[in-house]
Amino acid sequence: MSETQTIARREAAPQPCPPPAHVAIIMDGNGRWAARRGLPRVEGHRRGVEAVRRSVRAAIDLGVRYLTIYSFSSENWRRPPAEVADLMGLLKLFVRRDLAELDAANVRVRIIGDREGLSPDIAGLLIEAEERTARNTGLTLAVAFNYGGRQEIVRAARRLAEAVAAGTLRPDEIDADRLAGALDTVGIPDPDLVIRTSGEQRLSNFLTWQTAYSEYVLIPDFWPDFDHGAFAAAIDEYHRRDRRFGGLSEKAG
């Protein structure tokens, strides 16, 4: 075989698909994971934190640029007070133990969600996480805390209404881009892929606006069992999808 033929074959070889730029994860099943093992629910949440650590490392390894995790929804306050206290304790522990490691790994932390009414100690930890990592240029880890997609849209609409009332914005200037710019996720691209663990098949008020054209991969395993292999498998499934965004399929010719 000539050198020219060798080069031609090398150029024709299939190239690896780029990873999705933004992966969002609904981390579900901590309590059921614990219940099946006869363990208290808080142990499931502790193991869930370990899965978060694995997922951050996997995202970096797989080349994902943005990772959003649904850590605590605005509806989770309805859970028993003892469980909410356990979850807040785990959040504090995660920030105190893992923030230095995230910073050293060049991870930038963003917090999305409603901060009004949070206790000063929790609010302070969220600010610390963002400020300490603000200059990092690697993976952006967006933590959805006290977050609800509908509530986020309401906050964005309120901001735009206030701008109209102040005379700095005309109603006819409000469009999809303007509303997106008023959301908590401003500066973060919409998710390409949404992963949900535990086999549930609903969005649960997560990134309601941003996931309009996301691909969904539903995993039957509970969140504490999620690992690098499961993350990579979800991305493989994403690459098998035909994303048309309302247009015709490229595969249709």
Tell me if 247 is assigned to some domain: no
Tell me if 4 is assigned to some domain: no
Tell me if 178 is assigned to some domain: no
Contact 115, 146 (CB under 8 A): yes
pLDDT level of residue 14 (50, 70, 90 thresholds) = low
70-95 per-position pLDDT tens digit: 999 998 988 899 999 988 988 888 88
Binding residues: 28-33, 41, 45, 73-75, 77, 79, 196, 202-204, 215
CA nearest neighbour of 71 among 106, 42, 37, 28: 28
Instruction: Report pLDDT for 243.
Output: 67
Binding residues for substrate: 29-33, 41, 45, 73-75, 77, 79, 196, 202-204
Residue 28 is among the residues annotated as catalytic for this protein: yes
Tell me if 162 is assigned to some domain: no
141-172 per-position pLDDT tens digit: 999 999 999 999 999 999 999 999 999 999 99
pTM: 0.88
Collapsing DSSP to helix, strand or coil, 23 comes out as strand
Cβ count near 12 (within 10 Å): 7
- Overall number of domains in the chain: 1
Average pLDDT, the chain: 91
Tell me if 89 is assigned to some domain: yes
CATH of the domain at 118: 3.40.1180.10
Instruction: Report pLDDT for 187.
Output: 96
189-238 per-position pLDDT tens digit: 999 999 999 999 999 999 999 999 999 999 999 999 999 999 999 999 99
Collapsing DSSP to helix, strand or coil, 111 comes out as strand
Residue 76 is among the residues annotated as catalytic for this protein: yes
Boundaries of domain holding 199: 19-148+190-240
Residues 6+ apart with CB under 8 A from 129: 95, 99, 109, 111, 143
Tell me if 128 is assigned to some domain: yes
Q: Cα(241)–Cα(153) distance, rounded to whole angstroms? A: 28
pLDDT level of residue 3 (50, 70, 90 thresholds) = low
Tell me if 118 is assigned to some domain: yes
Q: Cα(92)–Cα(55) distance, rounded to whole angstroms? A: 19
Tell me if 166 is assigned to some domain: no
Q: Cα(26)–Cα(208) distance, rounded to whole angstroms? A: 13
Binding residues for Mg(2+): 28, 215
Instruction: Report pLDDT for 8.
Output: 47
The encoded tokens of residue 79 equal: 């859970």
**Phi–psi pair at 104, nearest 5 degrees:** -65, -30
